[in-house]
Structure 1
């Protein structure tokens, strides 16, 4: 089958996260037709997570191509670039405070970014409640999307933007995410200025981190007077059930944390145990390095579907850069196959290089060593 011109192609994005929505927005700005399929029943079916720092050299570049950079800056929090590194006594050992006009990596809540992108799309671009089961059809197209509800869709290009456990990835690669040996336990704090003033003061306007070599924590200020704390530990992926607990057993988990962080200062231990509501278990997975595949003219990947890495500040930024480059390749290529080839020629070497640099990076989250002050402005968390 001859590869169609992008303007004539049926383009299907799987996943309505920042990467998939950025790709759809830029495609539409260039007059190309696209449909986004997402497994969630609606745009606000679940919490979208914490806050992101979008970098000037990737995430912000993608938003500029999307025509949304000014709207992003109106929502972003430049003060969120403040960063405090503490030792387990609670002493601030290194403090990065942004300049008044610093805009290299301002923070924005994931939910606000997603709404910004969703609102920029043409009506009915996103089809909700579409849980992809598999990609079928011949390798040279057309492809068939098979959904959990029994429906199918024929398409000329499948863009997998569906994250760590992508249902598109098996059409290109047999790789599956592997546990890094490090896990996050997420704790939420609400109405912090009134209910948790000491924690609000401790974290400040941006983020705060501490580690002792075996365990750590990372706290982030979110909008709406919220703070999220990620407790970072080297544990088995099933440590909760292995301890005879469930994720709903908040008191039992608190007892484990009090024991593990017993030598930390009482002030820091508030971040472990004074949270509002239950914890969220987030074991960290990553794709093998390098992760590449044989080029296919009808399927490609972006973001975590292509290069899942430890959470060191590059994930969403790279996903949005991937999305912009893929959309621009489609806007400028003679055929879909040419666009996929051009996109992957740049994306795959970049992602392999970055993944190699971050390989084992989950362990670095536990390090008690302070970052080099000369490079804290480039810190990717």
Structure 2
């Protein structure tokens, strides 16, 4: 596929990048119109071919089948190719990044949050919402997405002393993760985020209800576009004022995806603890005398030594153990699901072969 200069300018307003990935994606794309998914609903998709040029698009028939893998369907942020004559999606372009989580419920399923993003802005309020352990969980999910995590600490105007916050986030900041305390209602304060919002870049806002995502979005836009709500005084939790994911072009030139508040952050089983908020513990474990050290009473345990010396935070380590067990369980569910799919595929091929042998080719 080739794009003329005017089309490229229009696509640039909705986050089309100018890099090697974009060139490779265009070379592999079939003929048609390039568009980006800006909203996803149960009834279908809303796509855009440029700022202010949005319309509904029909999903391929295969995507509507109950057993079609959800990760192969488009989500907000995806680039798709449309039919030249009809507003129908023909193909999904390869993703440069994908943020997802385990869906709520007993059965294993992945929920896609946003695709083709450069930064994940993890929004956390400096009130009762502040929870370093939950931020560690976010970072585990984000590190596996291919995007860069950034902490946005809202309600900084309510926090008189930021030193305890810095101390609580020491393990995270040591990984090189950027953190920005802001007053989400103050344009001058949130201007520190402009570096992440330049043309061709896309960011997604994630965080719990009441953290200030919608307020932050309104301030970045310069207009009251997103609904905002009051939070409960006892726990700083709010209602879901954002009810679906939507991609919004920003005056800074980049694009922002706002998401509903997340109260459950299940792992998918594909994450790695040594690449996220627990890289320090994984590095310590590699120094233990025994490769299979359980970090309990084994001699030469570097993790236990760090805990006893006070150089490893006990709460940080306890959260690591919790997520390690959860990750192992999710990985087991994922493996079982993949095995079931492989078995079903083999049985389907065998059945098709028997039918052809019995009734001949049609």
Q: Flag whether TM exceeds 0.5 (same fold).
A: no
Q: TM-score, normalised by structure 2?
A: 0.24
Structure whose CA Rg is larger? 2
Between the two structures, name the one with larger relative contact order (CA 8 Å, sep ≥ 6). Answer: 1
Q: Return the structure number with greater strand share.
A: 1
